[in-house]
Structures are given as C-alpha cells and as structure tokens.
Amino acid sequence: MIEPRVALVTGASSGIGFATASLLAARGYRTFGTSRKPQGTAGPNNVEMVELDVRSDDSVCSAMDNILRQVEHIDVLVNNAGYGLFGAVEETSLAEARAQLETNFWGAVRLTDQVLPSMRERGSGRIINVTSVLGFMPVPFHAYYVASKHALEGYSEVLALEVRPFGVFVTAIEPSWIRSRFFEHRKEAKKSIDAYQRERDVVSPQMRERTEQGRHPDVVARVIYKAINSPNPAVRYTVDLGAGALKAARSFLPSSVFDRLLRRSFGLNKA
C-alpha cells in the first residue's frame, strides 16, 4: 500500500492555513496543522493539529519530533503562520518590530531548516511560503509587516535557486485582500503619537473593509495546491487578478505615479 504524502501547514487554525490544510486533507494528504493553542480551537476536518509556536526554537523542535514519531518525513511544508502589526514606524518599538519579524519571517526559516535536509537527501519536496502583495508593495502603518513579507520573498527566491538542483521546489504565494481574521488578530504599536492620528484613523477602517470584503481563503488554498502539484512550479504565484494588477502596476508605473495612486487609494490625500 502506498503511503499518502505528508503535509505540514503552520497557522492552520483559521484563514488561509485552515483552508489549505482542509484542501490538502480532502485531496488525500496526511496533513498536520499547527496552532499555538490547538486544544482551544477546532481544527480542519481530518487534519492532525499540533501545538507549535514558530517564534520558539524549542517549540519547533518539539513539534517536529512529535510529527516525525508518526511519519518518516514531510513532503510538503506550507509556511503560513503570521500576524499584522499596525502603527507608524516612529510609534513602533524595536521590540515590537523584532516580534513581527520573529513570527512572519524567522518562523518560516525555523520550519524550513527542519525539513530541508531530509527533502534534499530524498531528492524531492515542496516548500510553500505564503507572502502577500505586501511582499512587493507598501501599505501605510504596516512597515514591519511589509518588511517581513519582503524578506520572505527574497529568501524564497534565493532558496529556490539553491535547492531546485536537488529536486526541492520553493514557491512564494502572493494573496491580495483575503477574508480572514487578520484585522482582529493584528497587534497595535503601544506608543501613540498625535501627529499620526488623523492618517491612522483613515487607514485603519480601510484595512478592516478590505479584509472583510476580500476573497475567500479557499482561493489561496487552490493556488497553493496548484503549486504543490505542478511538475515545474513558478517561484511566485499571484493569487487573483487583483494581485496581478497590483504587481503589474508596481512593475510598470513610475514610482511617483504608483505612490500617488496608493495615497489616493487609502484616502491619505484627504487626511
């Protein structure tokens, strides 16, 4: 009997991670999902939930030991865990900025370090890094979230070049506005500077609206599934026409024009 392929999806308790783990399990993958507190959250159907805090080396090692006691290896890793940090650069402490990168970037690095040696030795494996359109464009009051996604994009491109000769494929997935609990889960900088208040008050409801009216996470899950099963996947996939249009605008418009469009989009010219 052929053993099913094994997938590990971080941040599987909600949103994109939940949808991706659900789809992989439904398509026959033995799927492990992670959450910092899996006991208090109903996971996706037929997904084995594991406690994991991507910020902690000890937690990552413990979770991997737990999984590898049950399976021989992991075929697919989906690095999805993350959160948003809201606040002006000047309002954000170094500790808050480091915490953002610790989860969104270094968390993915920790998990990749765990699975990559085995994938390379076996000559096969897929590593999917969920980035964002904010991996190639800015959004006001999210500097360190944007920085984490830019970092993950660059890391993914370099890693893809290095490991493809060993049969390991690395792909960055770039969603745009996705309906999720991103807004509810975001953290806000503790410091508040009055000079930024008006613009913050303009951008915050914009972010809530775009998240609440975004595409369903299943759209992202299907693109991830496509990348996993493609014989020759691209290094980057934009998820929908909206993301593709943003990327095209970022690439071809003069930076001054793109900046002006962004400011108008977020209503900053009126603040």
Entry field: residues in the chain:
271
Which of 144, 145, 196, 237 is an active site residue?
145
Rounded Cα–Cα distance for residues 27 and 30 (Å): 9
Per DSSP, the three-state class of 125 is strand
Amino acid identity for residue 249 in this structure: A
Active site residue 144: no
Task: Report the run of H or E that residue 30 belongs to, with start and end.
Answer: strand 30-35
Sequence-separated (6 or more) residues with CB below 8 Å from residue 136: 150, 153, 174, 247, 250
Q: Residue 168 has what DSSP assignment?
A: E
Angle between helices 217-229 and 15-26 (to 10 degrees): 50
Q: CB 215: neighbour CB atoms within 10 A?
A: 17
Sequence-separated (6 or more) residues with CB below 8 Å from residue 256: none
Q: Are 18 and 45 in contact (CB under 8 A)?
A: no
| C-alpha distances in Å from residue 127, one per residue of 142, 171, 230, 259 | 26, 6, 13, 33
| C-alpha distances in Å from residue 14, one per residue of 5, 59, 126, 218, 224 | 23, 20, 22, 11, 16
User: Annotated catalytic sites, by residue?
Assistant: 145
